[in-house]
């Protein structure tokens, strides 16, 4: 095809062909999966929150209205980042890091950050609140990807130490909110990105050994966190205390059975299941959609993981490959941590289910990450085609 075109075309025509292919269609299968999850999230946000919203605010649509607004904002963000060249992020990592640190510091300032249930995690922007720690995870992924895909050298100690000091600074600020679940999610994704980048495993293991005393202090020496570990091992030891959450979640799954009781007909969300529209919304899905619904949701996240890895393998450069992996993990790891917690497979921690849980910052971050991933998918064959074109041009 290219040989015939070169023989009779002009420079402009050839350049237009290459530009058109460079701006190829995004991964439509991934696009469909993302919007399927977002649609399920809107439906379940309403089902899980309607009774509580009516009782507290006198409006059963209270949370649905806000989640719909965030969905529209997220859709606009997805479309923007889907069309923004992912390679440009390498220019803005320093600005993103500074903004992340400032926002996380602002959250801790009394009168600036908004507090709820003993935690200061939000910045109030009029009638909506923003959770900077959600955006911090996205920023950290982009920063680490830039470091471990573009910078090479023989000094592995510095290559590991400097990025980890940056991540540690963000980790400390998130822990001061406190938000242990998000902080651990941030560390887990960071380590996986470093491992996937091909960094020597010996240094990663050494870093893990050094971090053991920190985990001891953060978990064993903090009574309520250690209590969550014990409740994970046997929640019935304190069934009306720290084990209450997961036991009510088990009850929801049991009531749902294979097919569920039907959308909107669940009862565990009414004064039994804590945080039914946020952290424990997966249990509501289990009761109302049954095993079929929960397995379908798991398969959707598995599908996103599969498409993300395919996009990474077909990306035209190392930055795109590692960024695609990082963004895929950002969504999927958090999803499986949440589902693991709700199903009793992991100790209880407050992490939302991407696209599904009520919460604007989580939804917006997931949409932005998806938009960047879709943008990478648009370049999946551009490099190969340009090489072929140059070869044909030189032969002519």
SS3 per residue for 291-346 = HHHHHHHHHHHHHHHHHHHHHHHHCCCHHHHHHHHHHHHHHHHHHHHHHHHHCCCC
User: Which contacts qualify for 30-36: CB closer than 8 Å, 24 or more apart?
Assistant: 30/304, 30/307, 30/308, 30/311, 30/370, 30/373, 30/374, 30/377, 31/374, 33/300, 33/303, 33/304, 33/307, 34/78, 34/304, 34/355, 34/367, 34/370, 36/300
Spatial CB neighbours of 334, under 8 Å, sequence gap ≥ 6: 185, 351, 352, 353, 354
164 and 194 Cβ atoms separated by less than 8 Å = no
248 φ, ψ (degrees, to nearest 5) = -65, -30
Indicate the angle between helix axes 318-342 and 244-256, nearest 10 degrees: 90
Higher pLDDT, 354 or 219: 354
State the CB neighbour count (10 A cutoff) for residue 79.
Answer: 13
Q: What is the mean pLDDT of residues 335-361?
A: 89
Residue 238 DSSP label: G
Q: Could you give the C-alpha distances from 173 to 136, 140, 141, 182, 214, in angstroms and in order? A: 10, 13, 17, 11, 15
Mind listing the pLDDT tens digit for each residue in 142-184?
999 998 887 555 566 677 788 889 999 999 999 888 888 888 8
23 φ, ψ (degrees, to nearest 5) = -100, 50
The per-type count for the chain, helices as H runs and strands as E runs, is 15, 3
- Confidence check: pLDDT of 209 > 80: yes
Task: Report cis status (omega within 30 of 0) of the bond before 99.
Answer: no
User: What pLDDT was estimated at residue 373?
Assistant: 96
Mind listing the pLDDT tens digit for each residue in 233-263?
788 887 777 788 888 899 999 999 999 999 8
Mind listing the pLDDT tens digit for each residue in 47-75?
999 888 888 888 899 999 999 999 999 99
pTM: 0.87
- Confidence check: pLDDT of 383 > 60: no
Instruction: Return the percent helix, strand and coil in the chain, to nearest 5.
Output: 70, 5, 25
């Amino acid at each position: 095809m290219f040989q015939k075109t070169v023989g009779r075309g002009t420079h402009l025509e050839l350049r237009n062909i290459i530009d058109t292919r460079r701006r190829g269609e995004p991964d439509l299968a991934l696009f469909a999966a993302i919007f399927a999850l977002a649609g399920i999230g809107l439906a379940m946000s309403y089902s899980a929150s309607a009774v509580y919203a009516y009782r507290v605010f006198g409006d059963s649509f209270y949370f649905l209205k806000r989640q719909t607004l965030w969905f529209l904002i997220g859709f606009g963000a997805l479309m923007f980042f889907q069309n923004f060249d992912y390679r440009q992020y390498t220019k803005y990592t320093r600005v993103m890091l500074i903004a992340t640190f400032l926002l996380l510091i602002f959250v801790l300032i009394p009168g600036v950050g908004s507090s709820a249930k003993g935690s200061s995690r939000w910045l109030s922007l009029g009638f909506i609140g923003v959770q900077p720690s959600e955006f911090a995870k996205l920023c950290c992924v982009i920063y680490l990807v830039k470091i471990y895909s573009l910078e090479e050298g023989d000094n592995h100690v510095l290559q590991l130490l400097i990025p980890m000091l940056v991540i540690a600074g963000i980790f400390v600020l998130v822990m001061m909110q406190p938000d242990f679940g998000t902080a651990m999610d941030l560390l887990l994704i960071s380590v996986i990105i470093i491992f996937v980048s091909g960094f020597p495993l010996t240094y990663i293991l050494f870093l893990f050994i050094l971090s053991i005393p920190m985990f001891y202090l953060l978990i064993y020496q903090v009574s309520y966190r250690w209590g969550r570990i014990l409740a994970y091992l046997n929640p019935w030891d304190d069934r009306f205390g720290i084990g209450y959450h997961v036991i009510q979640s088990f009850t929801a799954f049991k009531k749902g059975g294979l097919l569920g009781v039907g959308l909107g007909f669940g009862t565990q969300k009414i004064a039994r299941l804590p945080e039914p529209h946020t952290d424990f919304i997966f249990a509501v899905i289990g009761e109302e959609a049954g095993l079929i619904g929960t397995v379908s949701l798991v398969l959707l996240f598995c599908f996103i993981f599969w498409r993300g890895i395919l996009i990474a393998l077909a990306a035209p450069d190392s930055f795109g490959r590692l960024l695609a992996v990082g963004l895929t993990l950002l969504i999927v790891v958090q999803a499986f941590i949440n589902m693991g917690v709700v199903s009793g497979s992991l100790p209880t921690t407050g992490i939302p289910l991407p696209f599904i849980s009520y919460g604007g910052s989580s939804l917006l971050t997931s949409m932005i990450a998806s938009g960047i991933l879709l943008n990478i998918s648009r370049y999946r064959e551009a490099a190969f085609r340009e090489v072929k074109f140059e070869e044909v041009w030189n032969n002519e």
